[in-house]
Amino acid sequence: SAFMPMVISSGPGSAMSHAIGYVVVLCLIFSLIESKLILPAHLAHMNIKPGKPTGFMHSIREKIDGSLKRFVNDTYQPFLTRALHYRYAVFMAFTGVLIISAGLFIGGAIRYIGMPEVPHDFPRVAIEMKQQASEQATLDAIKTIEQVLRDVDKEIEKEIGIGAISDINARLSSRTAGEVMVKMTDPELRTLDTFQVAQRWRDAIPNLPSVKSITVSDNLFGGGRDDGDVSFRLVGNNDKELVAASKELKNKLKTLKGVSDVNDSRQSATQEVQFKLNPLAFSLGLTLQDVASQVNFSFYGIEAQRILRDTEELKVMLRYPKEQRSSIGHIEETLVKTPAGDYVPLSEIATITLTDGVNRIRRENGQRTISVWATVDSAQVETFKVASDIRDNFMPQLLKLYPSVKTELAGRIQEEMDGVAEQLRNFALSLLLIFALLAIPLHSYSQPIIIMSAIPFGVVGSVLGHLMFGLDLSLMSIFGIIAAAGVVVNDSLVMVDFVNKAREEGVRIKDAVVHAGTRRFRAIILTSLTTFIGLMPIIFESSLQAKIVIPMAISLAFGVLFATVVTLIFIPCFYVILEDFKGMIRGKKAPNDAITSSGH
């Protein structure tokens, strides 16, 4: 049930959760079969020799067992007894830990970043030129960027003793686009990660002529996308307001701390000439279509005839010589024929303006659309906070200025926010399922609450683990928290079930709780420690592949570790507190009898 959110998730990011969820569910099913069918058969065929075991390993086991028993009897049992006496203070102390952890998240000490940020070993710098730029201008810009990267690498080599770049390759994608691809040196050999190096590249790359945008891709999960870390979609039918709104939004994003590589989907073509007819043109009998056709024929040409050469058909175009159509002045001097057969210059019958044309128009539901996106440096600012700040504070002002424009979040940031919302809904559903599965065999509605009360503390452990390692919470962290919830519930169920069995034998409540704690201490500790120790190699692994799952391992390991303390101390206190309230509801005094040593 705990892994149900991973299995039933949907959307662009569901492939990863499905891969984890289905594998874990299949492992748990096989583990259940192994423990109920295969393991008993193995135990039945074990050859246990009579007499007391001897040997070096046995002596070590005896010492460890003796030390554990002394700790349980001399330390844990007295501590638990005293904790039960001050159970309300213990309850408030653990509640305070929950509140402090929530404060760490709200205050920004721990942030949520969506997909984990994994430094790419093969970052790239992509460049997009304006449409009127020549191929040579694009090549010059690429060479400049390549040289900047090499210069930065020389500075890094002087600083840390080794360069960050192992190999570099530049290529031209089209007349107005290109990229510089970099192979980084081994991460273990340098003290600067790809994110730090990429930020130095951004700071060093100058403003280049005719460049529309420069994008540095340094995140493994962000590579290959053209919608940045945060993206907004502007929709409207008023072209002027739509373009103006997109420019306002871009300017606002450029002023925000940690935001770079601001770009949009609007593609400007070469400049185009627009003209508006004046009253003289209409008095001469000219229409806009007449004038536009004649100007077009003069500069673009009109097909005079077609000539067949071998198997190829050639068009013969009639138009002005090249020297008479190379400047705006030539357009003004273009002669337009009137219906009366006279010729007048275009400048006398029309107002001529030079503007940026639109090379491509994107439409959604019949309305024009412009997307604006940017890269966010998570070390300086949280992506979700940037998106929320723009959406809640800036967008209302923008919509007042341009009422025909509608805005919405889009791209990767919207996918991640939708994914989080879906995971939370699925997690709530899985909690209801866990509650039902616990309530049916326990014949109680309150005891599942006791058992599941350890789940929030598993989240606390996960948060503290990320804080210790200096990591932000990510989608992989949530997967680990979900997994920790399953282990935590198992430990708490073991404790509560043992208390119930002791009470069925007639043991008083507090005695039953202490008895269960001391008897199940070993099982709970071993379950948690084996999980924690088993995850340590992943947590301390430094390879690129491991960085993807490290947040999940930290969530699971530290969630289980912290929840172990909760299971051994908080769960017994909470159990007795609920029994206190049950007694008060029934009109009886809560059981405050002295705790005896019976049942130990």
User: When comparing pLDDT for 308 and 404, which is higher?
Assistant: 404
What would the mean pLDDT of 136-164 be, rounded to a whole number? 90
pLDDT of residue 592: 47
| Residue among 471, 475, 477 at smallest CA distance from 557 | 477
The per-residue pLDDT for range 438-463, each reduced to its tens digit, is: 888 888 888 899 999 988 998 899 98
Residue 408, pLDDT > 60, answer yes
Cβ count within 10 A of residue 363: 10
| Residue among 145, 210, 226, 131 at smallest CA distance from 179 | 145
Distance set, CA 285 to CA 282, 405, 444 (Å): 5, 39, 93
Residue 348, pLDDT > 70, answer yes
- pLDDT tier, 43 (very low <50, low <70, confident <90, very high otherwise): confident
What would the mean pLDDT of 563-589 be, rounded to a whole number? 84
pLDDT of residue 557: 92
What would the mean pLDDT of 99-121 be, rounded to a whole number? 80
Spatial separation of the C-alpha atoms in residues 56 and 33, rounded to whole Å: 34
Tell me which of 57-71, 172-186, 548-562 is least confident.
57-71
User: What residues does each domain of the chain span?
Assistant: 4-52+420-585, 119-265+363-413, 270-358
User: When comparing pLDDT for 593 and 421, which is higher?
Assistant: 421
Residue with tokens 């509640």: 95
Tell me which of 72-76, 188-192, 242-246, 549-553 is least confident.
188-192
CATH number of 4-52+420-585: 1.20.1640.10
What is the b/e burial string over 152-175, where b = at least 16 CB atoms within 10 angstroms of the residue's CB? bbeebeeeeeebbbeeeebeeeee
> Which residues, other chains included, contact 518 with Cβ-Cβ below 8 Å and sequence gap of 6+?
72, 73, 76, 77, 80, 600
What would the mean pLDDT of 362-379 be, rounded to a whole number? 75
- pLDDT tier, 599 (very low <50, low <70, confident <90, very high otherwise): very low
- Cβ burial of 355 (10 Å; 0-12, 13-18, 19+) is exposed
Residue 56, pLDDT > 60, answer yes
Spatial separation of the C-alpha atoms in residues 251 and 40, rounded to whole Å: 69
Please state, for a pLDDT cut of 70, what percent of the chain lies above it.
Answer: 88
Residue 503, pLDDT > 80, answer yes
User: When comparing pLDDT for 58 and 187, which is higher?
Assistant: 187
pLDDT of residue 590: 45
* Structural contact between residues 381 and 251, judged by C-beta atoms closer than 8 angstroms: no
Q: Among the CATH numbers 3.30.70.1430, 2.60.40.1190, 3.40.309.10, 3.40.50.20, which is that of 119-265+363-413? A: 3.30.70.1430
pLDDT of residue 342: 84
DSSP 49: P
pLDDT of residue 222: 61
Tell me which of 228-237, 297-306, 570-579 is least confident.
297-306
What would the mean pLDDT of 495-499 be, rounded to a whole number? 89
pTM: 0.68
Strand partners, 351: 276
Residue 298, pLDDT > 70, answer yes
Tell me which of 310-319, 431-440, 552-561 is least confident.
310-319
Strand partners, 232: 372, 409
Cβ count within 10 A of residue 274: 12
pLDDT of residue 135: 82
- Mean predicted lDDT score pLDDT of the chain: 81
The per-residue pLDDT for range 506-564, each reduced to its tens digit, is: 888 888 999 888 988 888 888 888 889 999 988 888 776 677 888 989 999 999 898 88
Tell me which of 156-170, 304-318, 502-516 is least confident.
304-318
pLDDT of residue 2: 65
Residue 224, pLDDT > 60, answer no
pLDDT of residue 227: 64
Spatial separation of the C-alpha atoms in residues 19 and 129, rounded to whole Å: 40
* Structural contact between residues 120 and 194, judged by C-beta atoms closer than 8 angstroms: yes
Strands 177-184 and 363-364, by their bridges, are unpaired
- pLDDT tier, 569 (very low <50, low <70, confident <90, very high otherwise): very high
Residue 478, pLDDT > 80, answer yes
Distance set, CA 189 to CA 10, 165, 184, 410 (Å): 39, 11, 10, 38
Architecture (CATH level 2) of domain 270-358: 2-Layer Sandwich (3.30)
Question: What phi and psi values does residue 271 have, to the nearest 5 degrees?
Answer: -60, 140
pLDDT of residue 1: 65
pLDDT of residue 55: 66
Residue 50, pLDDT > 80, answer no
